[in-house]
């Protein structure tokens, strides 16, 4: 019985995010003129999963108390690479997909190397590497366009028999195959340890450098998967700084709404998935309420600020003001 209390307390942020999302989505579906058709679900899922994957990418560096401001640009780069090489025979398409993931991993490895071995602050280092990745994307795709194997794209962005969106299955697959094993691995725990207290982690013999490096590599991988999905949805590639920038910023918002502390050491990617879904549903809600889409950025900002400010209620419980100051 007591075990459950502790497990629930540990997942409080996640549970809250799930609850908020469920309420919002139920409301959305109830108000939607068409109800929950396969089409509505797939459109909503595709949008949500894109941001969810980028949010997952952001989560891992944040857990180590770092940050990756290049996730959006890796996402854009992967999109442009995919729109170049994922054509032709199924085999060629499959190799193309692997190459896209490899590009993401490479970008992540560069970030990791610069942050861990180059000892640069993640915020400025990844802002700069993000510019490089954007430049590469632009070199590949000076103008929007390109192509992708249509069968593959339809399979990934469409819906399965029974109306289940394929992208949602992809997301669940990524969680099951990458995130959960990582979370339970020694290096996954090391990431939490480093974020919680780097000094104590060092004293406890935790492999700090490897854990941080891997965090950025996985961020690159997740962002690349998202880029792949974007290509499948749009059938093309576009090197857009605006898309990259907004995905980076929204990924941070998704992480925070999903209950992961920006100070590191707690939270997780599953929370960020629901954080991302919450953010995406805000836009949908505006639509069913017949409000102008122009209200969306304002609502996004307000929801984000309210979400993070709610955390300030903990201040009321503080008995020793020294805890407020680093």
Range 35-54, binding another protein (CB under 8 A): none
Q: For residue 304, what are its two tokens?
A: 């984000």
| Binding flag, residue 114, another protein (CB under 8 A) | yes
Calculate helix-pair angle for 90-112, 71-85, nearest 10 degrees: 160
Q: For residue 316, what are its two tokens?
A: 């009321």
* Out of 102, 138, 169, 178, the residue judged to bind another protein by CB under 8 A: 138
Interface of this chain with another protein, residues 288 to 307, rule: CB under 8 A: 292, 294-302, 304-305
Q: Which is nearer to another protein, 167 or 196 (CB)?
A: 196
Interface of this chain with another protein, residues 53 to 72, rule: CB under 8 A: 67
* Out of 36, 120, 175, 285, the residue judged to bind another protein by CB under 8 A: 120
**CA-wise closest residue to 223 among 104, 109, 308:** 104
Interface of this chain with another protein, residues 228 to 257, rule: CB under 8 A: 239, 241-242, 245, 249, 252-253, 256
> Cα separation of 267 and 60, whole Å?
10
Interface of this chain with another protein, residues 10 to 29, rule: CB under 8 A: 10
| Binding flag, residue 325, another protein (CB under 8 A) | yes
* Out of 89, 119, 143, 162, the residue judged to bind another protein by CB under 8 A: 119
> Cα separation of 224 and 76, whole Å?
8
Calculate helix-pair angle for 241-257, 38-63, nearest 10 degrees: 80
- Between CA 245 and CA 122, with CA 112 as vertex, the angle to 5 degrees is 55
Q: What is the CA radius of gyration of the chain?
A: 20
Q: Which is nearer to another protein, 50 or 300 (CB)?
A: 300
> Cα separation of 205 and 196, whole Å?
14
Interface of this chain with another protein, residues 171 to 200, rule: CB under 8 A: 181, 184-186, 189, 192-193, 195-200
Q: Which region among 24-32, 36-44, 133-141, 227-235 touches another protein (by CB under 8 A)? A: 133-141
């Amino acid at each position: 019985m007591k075990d459950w209390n502790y497990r629930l307390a540990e997942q409080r942020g996640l549970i809250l995010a799930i609850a908020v999302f469920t309420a919002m989505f139920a409301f959305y579906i109830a108000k939607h003129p068409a109800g929950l058709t396969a089409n509505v679900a797939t459109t909503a899922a595709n949008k949500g999963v894109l941001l969810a994957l980028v949010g997952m990418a952001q989560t891992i560096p944040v857990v180590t108390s770092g940050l990756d401001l290049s996730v959006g640009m890796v996402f854009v780069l992967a999109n442009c690479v995919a729109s170049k090489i994922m054509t032709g025979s199924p085999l060629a398409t499959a190799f193309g997909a692997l190459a896209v993931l490899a590009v993401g991993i490479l970008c992540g490895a560069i970030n990791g190397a610069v942050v861990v071995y180059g000892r640069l602050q993640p915020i400025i280092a990844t802002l700069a590497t993000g510019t490089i990745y954007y430049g590469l994307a632009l070199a590949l795709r000076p103008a929007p366009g390109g192509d992708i194997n249509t069968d593959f794209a339809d399979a990934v962005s469409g819906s399965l028999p029974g109306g289940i969106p394929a992208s949602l299955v992809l997301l669940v697959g990524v969680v099951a195959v990458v995130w959960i094993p990582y979370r339970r691995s020694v290096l996954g725990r090391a990431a939490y340890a480093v974020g919680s207290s780097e000094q104590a982690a060092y004293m406890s013999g935790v492999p700090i450098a490897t854990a941080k490096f891997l965090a950025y590599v996985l961020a690159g991988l997740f962002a690349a998967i998202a880029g792949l999905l974007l290509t499948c949805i749009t059938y093309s590639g576009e090197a857009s700084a605006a898309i990259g920038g907004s995905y980076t910023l929204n990924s941070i918002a998704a992480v925070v709404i999903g209950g992961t502390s920006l100070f590191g050491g707690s939270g997780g990617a599953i929370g960020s998935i629901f954080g991302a879904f919450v953010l995406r549903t805000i836009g949908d809600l505006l639509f069913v309420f017949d409000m102008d889409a122009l209200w969306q950025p304002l609502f996004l900002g307000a929801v984000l600020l309210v979400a993070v400010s709610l955390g300030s209620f903990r201040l009321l419980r503080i008995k020793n003001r020294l805890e407020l100051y680093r």
